[in-house]
Structure 1
Amino acid sequence: MNKKIVKFLPVMLLCNSVSAFELSQHLRTSTEPTAKVRVAAKYPIEAARNNREGWARFSFIIEKDGSVSNVITEETSGSKDITLAAKKAILKWQYQPAMENGEPIQQCANSVQIDFRMHKQKNGTTGATKRFRSLYNKTKSALAEKDYAEVEQLLAKFEKIKHMHLSENNFLQLLSAQYASDIDDPALQLSHLNKTAFSSDPENNQQLVSILKQKFILQIKLNQLKAAYSTFKYLKKIASDEPYLADYQVLIERIDEFVKSEKELVVSGDMRSNDYWHYALVRNEFTLSNITGKLTKMDIRCANKRHVYSIENNNTWTIPDTWQQCNVYIFGENNTKFNLVEHPFKA
C-alpha cells in the first residue's frame, strides 16, 4: 500500500495577516498563542485502502486555557470520514494561550486546512470510480444540451456518494460551477469553485490559475472584497509575470477606495443548503436586513474576541476597533435570504 501522508497547512491567526483592509488602528495582543500539542489526524482505514485522498478546512477558537473549541467546518473535498478524522484531531490540540495585559485571552479567528495524501503512483493518484464517471458523463451531456432540469436531478444524485476521491470532488465542483455560470448564479458558481483544491505544482498550475481568476472576478462582483484581496495575493505569488495582474491591481486599488468611501457595501446572503453563511468584514458596523426565512444566530469571530448573537431583521452591530479582523458566521434555515449591509467608517 502507498505511504499515507497527513499534513496541515499552517494555522492562520487572522489578526496578523497584512492586507489593504487594515484601515484603522488596533490594539495588538502582546503575546500570540503558540502550539504545544498538535495531534496528527488519523488516516481513515477505508480511505487509505482505496487510495482516497482529501482535505478539510476549519475555523476554530483557542480558549484561555489553550484548548480548542467551537470548530466549524468551512470547506471539504466531500469525504465525511476524512472531515471527521481531521476535526477529531483539531479538538485535541493544545496551545499556550494568547496574552493581553498579562492575562490569557481567547484567540477567535484561527483557520487551518488538513490534507490527506497518498504517495503518487506512476500514473498519478487513484482517479474516479466507474459509478462516478457514469454519473459525471450523464450530467456533462445534459449540461451540453442545456437540459437544466435533468442537470439538477443528476447533481442531486452525487449527494448520495459519501466518500469521494480528491479528483472526483474537483471534477464535480468544476462541473457544478459551469452549471451555475450557465444559469447566471454567480454566488453558487463561487461556492463550487471554493470547494476545489489544486496544488500549485506545474502540472496543475494552469488550471489553478484559471480557477483563481474566475474566483477573483466573482468575489468582486459579489462584494466579497476581503476574499478578492486574498485571491489576488495568491495569483501574484504563482503567476507574477502575467500581464493581466496590472489590471487586477487597478481593481484592488478601486476596492480600497470604495472601502474608505461613504458608500454602503451590500452583500447578498443565501443559506441554500449549507449549515451556515460566512463573510469576512471590511468595516466595523453592519446591519442584517431584508430577511426572508429564519436566521437563528450569528457567530462573530475576531482575532481576540468572539460573541454569539440572536438575529432580528434590521439589527445593527458596531464592532469596537480593538476587535481585530472579524469574520461573521450566520446560521439559519435552508434557503433563507438576507442582505448584510456594511456601513461607512465613522469619522
Structure 2
Amino acid sequence: MRYSLSKVASLATLALACALASPSNAVELSKHLSTIVSPEPIVRIAPKYPINAARSGREGWAELSFVIDKEGDVSNVLVKDTSGSNDFAKEAIKAAKKWRYKPAFENGKAIQQCVNTVRMDFKMGESASEGTVGVSRRFIIKYKKAKKALEEQDYKEVDTQLALMMKRKSMHLSEHNYMHMLAAEYEKAKGNKEKQLFHLSRIAKSFVRQDDEKQELSILYQMFILQVEFNEFRAAHNTYNRLIKLDSAKPHLGKLDKIMAKVDAAVASDGDLIRLADIKGNDFWTADLVRNEFSLTNVDGSLHTLDVRCVNKRHVYTIEEDNTWKLPASWENCSIYVYGEPKTSFKLIEHPLGT
C-alpha cells in the first residue's frame, strides 16, 4: 500500500535580508552567466537499468561531465554527482561512452568540446518521466517518527530515523525527495546552511512530480538564496531560470530580478569573489566559474590536479602552492575540477575581470 505526502513541506517564508522592490522584467545577465550552447548529439544510447535495482524497485540518477573529441567521440567521463547508487553511475558511464556528437569547428578547425552537466534518470512506474509516485508503509513510519522528533527538537531521534531511511536499498525517488526535504528542514533548524543547500539540491535534481508548485517554489527559492549567499552564481542563474517559469513565482519576480541584478554587478565588480571549498567523499571538488582568472589559496591538506573543462576547451594543470590561472577569454563557460586528498580545504578566489 502506498501513501501520498503531497503536503509534507510547507511553503517557506519568502523574505530577504533587505527590502527589495523592482519591476518584474528579467535583468540582463552578464556574458559570464550566458546560456551554454549544448553540443549537437548524433547518437545517444539509453543506459541499461541495473538488474538488482529493477528487482528491488530502486530508482535514482547520475550526473556526468565528459569531453567530446574532435571526431565527436566521448571520453574522460566523470561522475559529478549521484543519488547515492554506484550501479546507476556505472551504467550511465557505459552509455555515455557510446554516444557520438557532431564535431564542432572554430576558425575552420575541429575543436574539443566539454559537456559539464548531463543527468541520466533511472525511474520506474507507469510513467518513466515521473517514476514511482507515493511512498511505502515502511518509509512513512520512519518519516513520521523523524518529523515528530524534529517538531519536538529531539535531534538525536531525527538523526536515528534519517540514518535508518538512508540505509534502505530500495527507495524510490519520491521517497528520496521526502527524506531530503526533511533533512533540509533539519539542517535549517540547526543553522547549517551548507548541508541545507546540499539536500535542497538533491530534491531539485529529481522532482518526481511537479503538481505541487508551491512546494517547488519553496525548494527552488531557498536554493536560490543560499546559492547567492555562497557565491555559486552560475548555479543561482540556473535556479533563477527555473523559478521564473513558475506561475506561483510571479508575485516574487521583482525580488528575484533585483537579486540577479546584484549578482551581475558582483561579477562585473573590481572585488574578488571568494568561495570556501573542501574535498569530501569524492576525490575532487567542482565549481562553475564566472571569471577567467582565479587562484586556489589557503590549502589545508594536499591538492595535486586541476581539470578545467570549458564548452570549447579542456586543459589539465598540476597544482602548486598558491597557484593563479588566467584562462584565455575565448574559453567559454568553464568549470573546474580540483583533485586532492580527502578532507583538504582551500579557497577559490575569482579575480576581477580584465585584471
TM-score in terms of structure 2 length? 0.80
| Distance of aligned partners of 1:126 and 1:216 in 2 relative to their CA distance in 1, 3 Å threshold | closer
Tell me the distance in 2 between the aligned counterparts of 1:239 and 1:209: 9
| Distance of aligned partners of 1:336 and 1:154 in 2 relative to their CA distance in 1, 3 Å threshold | farther
Secondary structure class of the residue paired with 1:188: helix
The equivalent residue for 1:8 is none
Return the match for 2:295 from 264, 278, 287. Answer: 287
User: Residue type of the partner of 1:325?
Assistant: N
The answer to whether structure 1 residue 78 and structure 2 residue 84 are counterparts is yes
Tell me the distance in 1 between the aligned counterparts of 2:232 and 2:351: 15
The equivalent residue for 2:233 is 225
The answer to whether structure 1 residue 337 and structure 2 residue 313 are counterparts is no
Return the match for 1:194 from 194, 197, 201. Answer: 201
C-alpha offsets along residues 245-269 of structure 1, whole Å, 9 cap, x if unaligned?
A: 1111011111111111111111111
Superposition deviation, residue 152 in structure 1:
4.4
1:76 and 1:195 in contact (8 A); partners too: no
Tell me the distance in 2 between the aligned counterparts of 1:249 and 1:222: 18
User: Residue type of the partner of 1:190?
Assistant: L
The equivalent residue for 1:45 is 51
Tell me the distance in 2 between the aligned counterparts of 1:294 and 1:141: 43
Secondary structure class of the residue paired with 1:83: helix
The answer to whether structure 1 residue 35 and structure 2 residue 41 are counterparts is yes
User: Residue type of the partner of 2:221?
Assistant: K
Return the match for 1:176 from 166, 176, 183. Answer: 183
Secondary structure class of the residue paired with 1:273: coil
Return the match for 2:269 from 261, 269, 272. Answer: 261
Superposition deviation, residue 45 in structure 1:
2.7
Secondary structure class of the residue paired with 2:320: coil
User: Residue type of the partner of 1:108?
Assistant: C
Unaligned stretches of 5+ in structure 2? 1-27
Return the match for 2:132 from 122, 125, 136. Answer: 125
| Distance of aligned partners of 1:23 and 1:60 in 2 relative to their CA distance in 1, 3 Å threshold | closer
Tell me the distance in 1 between the aligned counterparts of 2:197 and 2:326: 28
Tell me the distance in 2 between the aligned counterparts of 1:316 and 1:239: 44
1:80 and 1:163 in contact (8 A); partners too: no
The equivalent residue for 1:14 is none
Q: Give the share of equivalent positions with the same residue, in percent.
A: 45
| Distance of aligned partners of 1:346 and 1:126 in 2 relative to their CA distance in 1, 3 Å threshold | closer
Deviates more, 1:281-290 or 1:42-51: 42-51
Superposition deviation, residue 194 in structure 1:
1.1
Tell me the distance in 1 between the aligned counterparts of 2:190 and 2:116: 35
User: Residue type of the partner of 1:198?
Assistant: F
Secondary structure class of the residue paired with 1:242: helix
Secondary structure class of the residue paired with 1:243: helix
User: Residue type of the partner of 1:22?
Assistant: K
C-alpha offsets along residues 87-113 of structure 1, whole Å, 9 cap, x if unaligned?
A: 211111122321223322210134222
1:80 and 1:162 in contact (8 A); partners too: no
C-alpha offsets along residues 147-187 of structure 1, whole Å, 9 cap, x if unaligned?
A: 44554455455554445311221122222222221222212
Superposition deviation, residue 79 in structure 1:
3.2
Return the match for 2:246 from 222, 234, 238. Answer: 238
Tell me the distance in 2 between the aligned counterparts of 1:275 and 1:136: 32
Tell me the distance in 2 between the aligned counterparts of 1:298 and 1:107: 17
RMSD of aligned Cα (Å) = 2.8
Tell me the distance in 2 between the aligned counterparts of 1:24 and 1:129: 42
1:79 and 1:164 in contact (8 A); partners too: no
The answer to whether structure 1 residue 271 and structure 2 residue 279 are counterparts is yes
1:287 and 1:314 in contact (8 A); partners too: yes
| Distance of aligned partners of 1:312 and 1:128 in 2 relative to their CA distance in 1, 3 Å threshold | farther
| Distance of aligned partners of 1:168 and 1:294 in 2 relative to their CA distance in 1, 3 Å threshold | farther
C-alpha offsets along residues 306-327 of structure 1, whole Å, 9 cap, x if unaligned?
A: 1222323421111110100001
Secondary structure class of the residue paired with 2:187: helix
Superposition deviation, residue 138 in structure 1:
4.5
Tell me the distance in 2 between the aligned counterparts of 1:293 and 1:150: 34
2:33 and 2:237 in contact (8 A); partners too: no
Tell me the distance in 1 between the aligned counterparts of 2:353 and 2:151: 47
| Distance of aligned partners of 1:207 and 1:317 in 2 relative to their CA distance in 1, 3 Å threshold | same
The equivalent residue for 1:20 is 29
2:173 and 2:208 in contact (8 A); partners too: no
User: Residue type of the partner of 2:334?
Assistant: C
Superposition deviation, residue 193 in structure 1:
1.2
